[in-house]
Amino acid sequence: MSEPFQTYQPKPIITGKGLGFIALIIGCIILGGVAVVVNPLFPILGVVGLVVVFLMVKFDYFGLLVYLLVFLMRPGEKYPFLATIRIELILGACLSFLSLIKNKYRYGHFTIPDSKLNLNMLLVLAAMCLSFSLSSCKDCTVNAIQEMLKLAIFFLLIILNIDSKKKLEIFFWAFLLINAKLTFDIAYGFYHGQAVYNQGLERATGGNSAMDNFNGIAITMNTMIPFAYFFFFYYREYWQKIIMAGCLFLFSWTLIITGSRGGMIGFVGIMGMIWLQSKRKLALGLFFIVFMVVGWSLLGSDSRARYSTIFDKKLDESSENRILAWEDGLELAILRPITGVGAGAFAWARVERFGRYLNPHNMYIQVLAELGFIGTFIYFMFVIDIFRFNRRILKRVTSRGSPLSMLVPLARSIMTSCGSLLITGIFAHSAYRYTWYMMAALTVVSLQLIKEAEAAARESAQEKDNLPSAANVPINPAV
């Protein structure tokens, strides 16, 4: 029998791998030529930038991590040309658009995790836009709305791209370590010539607009301490515990060297909230007492003198000015009770009305004066829902062996962090601080993960119920 006819298949002269190799060689030659003419760092940064852009377009979650880095590091403040193009706003808008398009392509329609916090976020933004109508400083309100738009974009990126426990944990580690790096820079600068002498002592300063003064740094430290504390007890690996313990010490010590009295009160409040959530209240209470006594003895004389003024009945000039700002803020709220004086316009409105310039240094007065009574109601409903939903998470995820057990320390950290903001908010105007909105987004993600896990458990239970039992399986008598 003759062999079947075989069609000749010519081999391609150039394969896909060959084309890629040739392109790599040509690219290296071009980069080498460019490096002769310009600084070699520029073409390298160009290549790195192209790779990062490709990865962000290809992988939504990678884009979220890049945006987290950009958002916290604020490169536009170090490199003015990036500030000119509004790198955070443009990058966030592009990533959000890509995420939404991919979301629609994946599911056939836009699918966003369902939560009341999403609506709350939009209502806060709407209240800020409403305040523009009678704002005492239109430019100030426009800037405040733009900053809130960045936070809304960040919120959207988080709830769209974190859809598994693994992604949530990676995001948490990135968030913690980036803040630890920024904190280390501040503490290092304090001991290497960047300390500022203010109100009788040297105080840590530096950082970026996320924590650009003593009080801003202290507030950030207070919001990070609960995460390091609760996750120290959650993790079992030694290297994880070491990192958490190191971060806990770094955040706590940096808080102390800011000399912020409001920050210290917030820190004591954090210890109180941790104590309330503990099952070993007696032991933990004794530990905290010893910790405060030893910590106080280790403080320098200037720091002790600064923090002891918290208990002075006689108010210093700084405290008197703040109380005067609160009184002025209440009067401004009465003058414009519906829309307020405009988001971000408190200081300008105060100058117009009273001839005195100072920000409110109180979150409650800030919201009431800037957003009016309607905006105040919307804002604090948003805050209340953050606590309410995290308490619900703690009730629905109880056992450590649960696949979603990470949500327990996360929920405790979020509530304690936001609780510290409510305490320090008595002394700081922190209503538009990014922490509120990031914590809300992580709460939405946690709720969505629980819903998906519960839905999967129900489906599994239904499948088991639908399986025929051994008693109902027909037996073949021939066997």
pLDDT value of position 74: 83
Residues whose CB falls within 8 Å of the CB of residue 17, separated by 6 or more in sequence, listed in order: none
Residue with the larger pLDDT of the pair 189 and 476: 189
Q: Is the pLDDT of residue 287 over 80?
A: yes
Tens of pLDDT, residues 415-452? 999 999 999 999 888 899 999 999 999 999 999 999 98
Lowest mean pLDDT among 24-38, 226-240, 287-301, 312-326: 24-38
pLDDT value of position 463: 72
C-beta atoms surrounding 141 within 10 Å: 25
* Of the candidates 422, 320, 327, the residue with the CA atom closest to the CA atom of residue 369: 327
Record the pTM: 0.84
The pLDDT confidence band at residue 12, using thresholds 50, 70 and 90, is low
pLDDT value of position 78: 75
- Bridge partners for 198 per DSSP: 201
Q: Is the pLDDT of residue 234 over 90?
A: yes
pLDDT value of position 92: 80
Q: Which of 83-97, 258-272, 435-449 is modeled with the greatest confidence?
A: 435-449
Tens of pLDDT, residues 460-479? 777 777 766 555 555 455 44
Residue with the larger pLDDT of the pair 116 and 210: 116
The pLDDT confidence band at residue 376, using thresholds 50, 70 and 90, is very high
DSSP letter (8 states) at residue 13: S
The pLDDT confidence band at residue 31, using thresholds 50, 70 and 90, is low
pLDDT value of position 124: 95
What's the mean pLDDT in 305-330?
Answer: 80
Task: Tell me the Cα Rg of the chain.
Answer: 28
What's the mean pLDDT in 259-264?
Answer: 87
What's the mean pLDDT in 196-214?
Answer: 78
DSSP letter (8 states) at residue 18: H
Query: Are the C-beta atoms of residues 96 and 67 closer than 8 Å to each other?
Result: no
Q: Is the pLDDT of residue 200 over 90?
A: no
* Of the candidates 92, 94, 152, the residue with the CA atom closest to the CA atom of residue 123: 152
Q: Is the pLDDT of residue 363 over 70?
A: yes
pLDDT value of position 294: 85
Apex 413 CA angle, 124 and 379, nearest 5? 15
Burial class, 2, CB count within 10 angstroms (exposed 0-12 / middle 13-18 / buried 19+): exposed
Token duo for residue 183: 């904190």
- How long a stretch of residues is the chain? 479
What's the Cα-to-Cα distance from 73 to each of 51, 179, 244, rounded to whole Å? 20, 9, 21
Lowest mean pLDDT among 78-87, 297-306, 424-433: 78-87
pLDDT value of position 44: 60
Report which residue type is found at 337.
P
Query: Are the C-beta atoms of residues 273 and 416 closer than 8 Å to each other?
Result: yes
* Residue with tokens 């790096």, as numbered in its chain: 181
Distance CA 359, CA 425 (A): 13
Residue with the larger pLDDT of the pair 206 and 331: 331
Q: Is the pLDDT of residue 121 over 70?
A: yes
* Residue with tokens 């936070």, as numbered in its chain: 151
pLDDT value of position 23: 64
What's the mean pLDDT in 139-159?
Answer: 92
What's the mean pLDDT in 41-50?
Answer: 59
Mean pLDDT, the chain, integer? 83
Q: Is 12 helix (H, G, I), strand (E, B) or coil?
A: coil
pLDDT value of position 478: 47
60-73 and 165-190 helices, crossing angle to 10°: 20
Residues whose CB falls within 8 Å of the CB of residue 214, separated by 6 or more in sequence, listed in order: 198, 203, 204, 205, 258, 259, 260, 263
What's the mean pLDDT in 403-422?
Answer: 94
Percent of the chain with pLDDT over 90: 42
